[in-house]
Amino acid sequence: MSLKYAVQPISPNHYVLPKLAGMNIEVHAFLSEALYEATDEALWAQAAAGASYEGVVGCYLMPDTHVGFGVPVGCVVVTDGVILQAGSGYDISCGVLYMKVPGLSAEQVRGKHERERWIHEVERRVATGVGSDRPKLMPKFSSKKAEELLRYGAKALGVRAELCERQYIPVPDDLDLHAIERAYDKVVPQLGSVGGGNHFIEMQVDRDDGSVWVMVHCGSRGYGWQTANHYFYEGARARGLPSQKRESSWLYADEPLGQAYWAHHNSAANFAVANRHIIVGGIQQALGEVFGVQGEVYYEISHNLVQQETISLPDGTTQRGFVHRKGATRAFPAGHPDLVGTAWSETGHPCLIPGSMYAGAAILFALPGAWQSGCSVNHGSGRLLARGAAKRTLERKQDEIDAEMRGVKRTFGSPGGARVEIEGIVGNTKHTPLDECGHVYKDLDEVLAVLEAEGIAKVAHRLYPVANMKGMD
């Protein structure tokens, strides 16, 4: 039986996979007709698997969804008393930090030379790539400070609570941070680094007002990956699964293994949050060196994470539950009970959405309709091509894609009302990474339009890149 063609539309942008054999709940998917048609059977099979776990009470697909490990990317699974390691995946707490740069506008970043200088100055202070060769100007951390960051995240850096989705997630005082040696060995060497894959630092300009922003996208680096890998294997053993099925394992929150995973998962999340704020220091120095200005942290948020939150049940009641966002972003609207007493209680918090290094990004705010999506939105635009396929199929277009990046012209607003044209997106690589170019991602504006049409979120800022630093593998 085809799962895809069992899906039923209930509005132009809202589809439901009914509860079929083995599923404990139905799956709600927020997709345009075109995005739905582009999905495949493998995606729906993973979604059905997500809705079949013990303890699951909610399952949602975001408009950027695609096949992942265990559950789809762009998936939200809500559970009661159960934790799914696949719900945060291998890059625990991968996420985004946005800085706004007062005193800098589209006019000041028109010149390619200045943007290239800025990239060079950031690279002198922030390590990129998997190998993490540390630049001389990059800060160093003692083991004692590193362990404080694993326990208290951004709070250990003095970052204000209103600038973070959460400063840190508590871990037990008696947690042995050395327990997973391969993970712990990555902490000190990789603090302050971006990593590889799709991680980046990017200067962007607001389409409407010409303001300049900097986006940081990275996660928990080797500490998070090794932590996740360890518990995938442990979880498979506990559930009697073969190692090749380890991403399908799950844990009871109150069993010793579940408690151990939750503690180490949270320490990895704390690493990621702290790491993004540490990177800000190098960016600030580079902004001062090249442009004579300083940025301000706007907000920081994760999109690969398990968190305990207030959730809405189908009957309209609420309860506490584990919300697994695998490639999805928390989207609490104004008045959400978990925002009471915070700076964002009356507006909802910002949702920071990277798109692609060509098509840009957005900042959203949740609307009341967010309750129907598990108080979640997309985490990006969503991949059309896997990395290997992108490199194989686009290799012959390398020169064309490079020219596209160098030659793109966009106009931006300005405080005076004039339009400012900026040519080209400068980068830190000789060639545009084929597995990260705009051709391998869905149309971000089509993805965002689904959320607006369903009353889930509104776009507050639409931003486009003018300088991009990729963490090359």
* pLDDT at res. 132: 56
Of 252, 219, 379, residue with least CA distance to 322: 252
Residue 335: which region, alpha, beta or left (left: phi > 0; alpha: psi -120 to 50)?
A: left
Query: Does 379 qualify as catalytic in the annotation?
Result: yes
CB atoms within 10 A of CB 394: 18
Q: What is the four-CA torsion angle of 55, 57, 61, 62, rounded to 10 degrees?
A: -120
* pLDDT at res. 135: 86
Q: What secondary structure does DSSP assign to 431-458, as a single string?
A: S--TTTSGGGB--HHHHHHHHHHTTSEE
Task: Please give the structure tokens belonging to residue 67.
Answer: 């096949």
pTM value is 0.95
Strand intervals (E) in 177-280 = 200-206, 211-218, 250-252
Catalytic residue among 379, 431, 439, 461: 379
* pLDDT at res. 315: 65
The CATH 3.90.1860.10 portion of the chain extends over: 95-307+346-470
Question: What pLDDT tens digit does each residue of the chain (473 aa) get?
Answer: 799 999 999 999 999 999 998 999 999 999 999 999 999 999 999 999 999 999 999 999 999 999 998 999 999 999 999 999 999 999 999 999 999 999 999 999 999 999 999 999 999 999 987 755 788 888 999 999 999 999 999 999 999 999 999 999 999 999 999 999 999 999 999 999 999 888 999 999 999 999 999 999 999 999 999 999 999 999 999 999 999 999 999 999 999 999 999 999 999 999 999 999 999 999 999 999 999 999 999 999 999 999 999 887 666 777 889 999 999 999 999 999 999 999 999 999 999 999 999 999 999 999 999 999 999 999 999 999 998 999 999 999 999 999 999 999 999 997 777 899 999 999 999 999 999 999 999 999 999 999 999 999 999 999 999 999 987 65
* pLDDT at res. 473: 56
Specify whether domain 95-307+346-470 bears CATH 3.90.1860.10. Answer: yes
Q: What is the spatial distance between Cα 312 and Cα 341, in angstroms, rounded to a whole number?
A: 20
